[in-house]
Structure 1
Amino acid sequence: MRAARLNLVSEEKRLLRHMRSKGPMPRTELALSLQVSNSSLTKLSHNLISLGLVEELAAAEPPVRGRPTVPLAVSPAGGFAAGATVHKGVLEIALVDFAGGVISLTSEQVGAPDPIEFANILEQRISELSLKHKLLGMRFLGIGVGVPGPAVSRKGDQWHTVKDLPGWRDVPLRRILDEALGTSVLLENDAKAAALAEYYSGGTIGKAATVVVILLGYGIGAGVIEDGHLIKGEFGSAGDVGRLYPSDLPRPTTMDLLSVLQQAGCPVLSVAQFEELTAGYEDVIEQWLDRAAVQLESLVNSAIAWFDPDEIVFSSPLPESITSRLAARLNALSLRWPHYRQHGEVRVSTLGGSAIAIGAALLPIHAATALLA
């Protein structure tokens, strides 16, 4: 499927971002908020409406006199995008609409496919899901992939992926996927993809200008959103916080907790059966939470010092009952929020294990509509 290209000017992107963060607003309020003339706002909104990216909503209440005020909103019908990630033998696929709403979330066992096998499965699943959800004929905005591992270069052509995906490591991954899927594919580190999901779909947009998302998954990574921009770093590896934890020692990750439980005799192999199989191992989990909180304290304090975030979010496929207790432990420790401002918090994402795939699907939308730094 070849992706459509949106050639939007900065003023149109600014209008879209404002509506995403503030919600539906009448034209007069939008013009006032963006400090543009009513005529300029009318021209911008007319073009976005004609493209199907913005829609007019019914007025909440008719005015006593004069013309009714018609709120404008980002239109879900503006298009859709697909995102995917593969790790530990599981392929996760998400479809999202232009407004950031989730259309579909699926997962399946796939073993360890090489990039071409992955692309073939992904292309087939996107076609099947497009038919199932009646998306044929709707503008297709592109494909994003959340990669478990850091980029080798800022361009994101090659990735140092986890060992579970040996066919992906240190190869021209983007070119391989582009050619196999017949369209330009956007790649991003899985933690950064989770950060995008949190920003657009997890309730952060419009509430916090700066947010740090820490992904506790196969490894540990982070993504930083600053005023709508995803911080990349010189070589694209900003947020690769896993290097702070020696690989030969236990790390505060999902895989680490599963390993600890297995060593204690628990038969759990994945998070899919976590709550069912971990009954009776509560003490083991509590001990791990105590250790993980201590390990994460210095990392969280570093994030506070470097980025001054409004909030720090934990994203993980672990059950919310686990991550919320971990967040509570950290909030009770000596987190060094500046004394001269209201303290932020460590909270848990509501997106659970779906964040990477959702964030990957949002990559084409973010790339087409985000303002340049």
Structure 2
Amino acid sequence: MHFPTLDKDQRRILHLLRRSGALSRSALAAELEMSATALTRLSRDLLALGLIIEGHENEGHGRGRPAVPLRLAPGGGYAVGATAHRGLLDIALVDFTGAIIATHHEASDPITPKQFARRVRSLTHELVDRHGLLGQRMLGIGVAVPGPSLSAAGDRWSVVDVLPDWRDVPLREIFATEFGWPLWIENDANAAAIAEFYLGGLIRDFSTVVVLLLGFGIGAGVIVDGRLMRGQFGVAGEIGCLFPGHLPRPSPLDLLGMLRAAGCDLPSVADIDGDAKAQAATVSAWLDRAAGQLQTVCNTAFAWIDPGAIILAGTLPSAILKGLAERLQRVELVTTVCERRPPIGISSLEGSPITLGAALLPIHSLSVSS
């Protein structure tokens, strides 16, 4: 059972409930500037589709309530997100509200797109069965890839070379053939931005945000007025081009290389620990340099886009991300009206924002008016 076609006003209602939580019909009508009659008709249709329900969360069903609010229905459907990294395959399962139902992480040898799709399909069936979702509405699957799109259509991608046979192949065709579900493919930084926007709670306060993803390399996901900004050719936010690979970069792999050069025998980025005595001096030096490099990125993003938040996210330990944010807040950042400066913070999410954001791609598509 796939998702029904929704009109613009139905999407507006769902988006407002996702942003604000439970609201009465009168509050919805006022916020959306529509008549009570129109709101009643639209909400009746959404109730019939099982996408919204009445009442506050955990509320009893006593009588005499003056106004029964509407809210998103967790059982309105579920969505899946999947990513492949160096030596790891990640899956997340979320309900219609965006709440996490389950996650799965497993070690993986280098995997081709077809092998990836088959394994994800098998794991999805297992998770759906385990969590009693058989027969419920499947909203779709999102796949996040590490690399920029090679076309505005997003069918071929310049995927990093640690994933064999992924670069410049028809990923959309391969995945669609294996999955048979509604499919979204997105750059990993854009997926991370979606996760921060919804699960990180940014949607409640901001319509425009920038997420700097320190992952395999470095990239940015930009949301403007609630929409992902992709640019003319689908590569908006590819800030890695500002830091050529043969030079020092503000990326986790660059930090890992510095630590190895300093004599720390670390297998991967996951083993970086800024509190470890043998690593502390190198980590501190990298943070000082990375803050200087990202200063221009933050200043220009702030001047061009006016985001309500600039969030640092990625694979580095939160203590290192915090140290980077603190250094950025101390450097000479630009100001605009009312002495506003780039609003820099770090991710509060547990788990991979990339995989969680991939799972939210089908849900995000329902929040964007046609």
State the TM-score bracket (shorter-chain normalisation): over 0.9
SS of residue in 2 equivalent to 1:86: strand
Q: Is contact 2:56-2:71 (8 Å) kept?
A: no
> In the alignment, which residue of structure 2 is the partner of 1:190?
188
In the alignment, which of 289, 292, 300 is matched to residue 291 of structure 1? 289
1:262 corresponds to which letter in structure 2? R
Asked if 1:142 is matched to 2:134, the reply is no
Cα separation, 2, equivalents of 1:281 and 1:60: 47
Q: Kindly state the Cα deviation for residue 294 of structure 1 after the two structures are TM-superposed.
A: 0.7
Cα separation, 1, equivalents of 2:153 and 2:235: 11
Structure 2 residues not aligned, in runs of 5+: none
Q: Any residues of structure 2 matched to 1:229-308 within 5 Å, and which?
A: 229-275=227-273, 278-308=276-306
Q: Kindly state the Cα deviation for residue 58 of structure 1 after the two structures are TM-superposed.
A: 4.5
Q: Any residues of structure 2 matched to 1:81-100 within 5 Å, and which?
A: 81-100=79-98
Identical columns (%): 46
1:281 corresponds to which letter in structure 2? Q
TM-score by length of 1: 0.94
Cα separation, 1, equivalents of 2:206 and 2:235: 23
Q: Kindly state the Cα deviation for residue 353 of structure 1 after the two structures are TM-superposed.
A: 5.0
Q: Is contact 2:274-2:280 (8 Å) kept?
A: no
Q: Which moved more, 1:313-322 or 1:265-274?
A: 265-274
Q: Kindly state the Cα deviation for residue 49 of structure 1 after the two structures are TM-superposed.
A: 1.1
Cα separation, 2, equivalents of 1:12 and 1:167: 41
SS of residue in 1 equivalent to 2:278: coil
Cα separation, 1, equivalents of 2:195 and 2:361: 9
Q: Kindly state the Cα deviation for residue 182 of structure 1 after the two structures are TM-superposed.
A: 2.2
Q: Is contact 2:212-2:220 (8 Å) kept?
A: yes
Cα separation, 1, equivalents of 2:210 and 2:121: 32
SS of residue in 1 equivalent to 2:174: helix
1:348 corresponds to which letter in structure 2? I
> In the alignment, which residue of structure 2 is the partner of 1:361?
359
SS of residue in 1 equivalent to 2:222: strand
Distance 1:302 1:344, change over 3 A: closer
Cα separation, 1, equivalents of 2:367 and 2:225: 14
Instruction: Give a deviation string over 1:72-108, Cα, whole Å, max 9, x none.
Output: 1111111110001111121111111111111112211
Cα separation, 2, equivalents of 1:188 and 1:61: 37
In the alignment, which of 123, 146, 155 is matched to residue 157 of structure 1? 155
Cα separation, 1, equivalents of 2:40 and 2:90: 41
1:347 corresponds to which letter in structure 2? G
The number of equivalent residue pairs is 368
SS of residue in 1 equivalent to 2:322: helix
Distance 1:91 1:140, change over 3 A: same
Instruction: Give a deviation string over 1:128-159, Cα, whole Å, max 9, x none.
Output: 11122221121111110001000011110100
> In the alignment, which residue of structure 2 is the partner of 1:8?
6
Q: Is contact 1:267-1:277 (8 Å) kept?
A: no
Q: Kindly state the Cα deviation for residue 252 of structure 1 after the two structures are TM-superposed.
A: 0.8
Cα separation, 2, equivalents of 1:9 and 1:347: 36
2:327 corresponds to which letter in structure 1? R
2:97 corresponds to which letter in structure 1? A
Distance 1:291 1:52, change over 3 A: same
2:359 corresponds to which letter in structure 1? A
Q: Is contact 1:214-1:223 (8 Å) kept?
A: yes
Distance 1:66 1:176, change over 3 A: closer
Q: Kindly state the Cα deviation for residue 234 of structure 1 after the two structures are TM-superposed.
A: 1.0
2:80 corresponds to which letter in structure 1? A
In the alignment, which of 210, 213, 216 is matched to residue 215 of structure 1? 213
Q: Is contact 1:219-1:253 (8 Å) kept?
A: yes
TM-score by length of 2: 0.95
SS of residue in 2 equivalent to 1:242: helix
In the alignment, which of 38, 44, 47 is matched to residue 46 of structure 1? 44
Q: Is contact 1:59-1:69 (8 Å) kept?
A: no
Q: Is contact 2:3-2:137 (8 Å) kept?
A: no
Asked if 1:128 is matched to 2:126, the reply is yes
Structure 1 residues not aligned, in runs of 5+: none
1:49 corresponds to which letter in structure 2? L
Q: Is contact 2:334-2:342 (8 Å) kept?
A: no
Q: Is contact 1:266-1:277 (8 Å) kept?
A: no
1:8 corresponds to which letter in structure 2? L
Q: Kindly state the Cα deviation for residue 12 of structure 1 after the two structures are TM-superposed.
A: 0.5
Q: Is contact 1:59-1:71 (8 Å) kept?
A: no
Q: Kindly state the Cα deviation for residue 207 of structure 1 after the two structures are TM-superposed.
A: 0.6
Q: Is contact 1:84-1:357 (8 Å) kept?
A: yes
> In the alignment, which residue of structure 2 is the partner of 1:80?
78
Q: Kindly state the Cα deviation for residue 280 of structure 1 after the two structures are TM-superposed.
A: 3.0
Instruction: Give a deviation string over 1:203-261, Cα, whole Å, max 9, x none.
Output: 11021121011100101111111111001111111111101111111211112212211
Q: Is contact 2:112-2:165 (8 Å) kept?
A: yes
Q: Is contact 2:333-2:342 (8 Å) kept?
A: no
> In the alignment, which residue of structure 1 is the partner of 2:178?
180
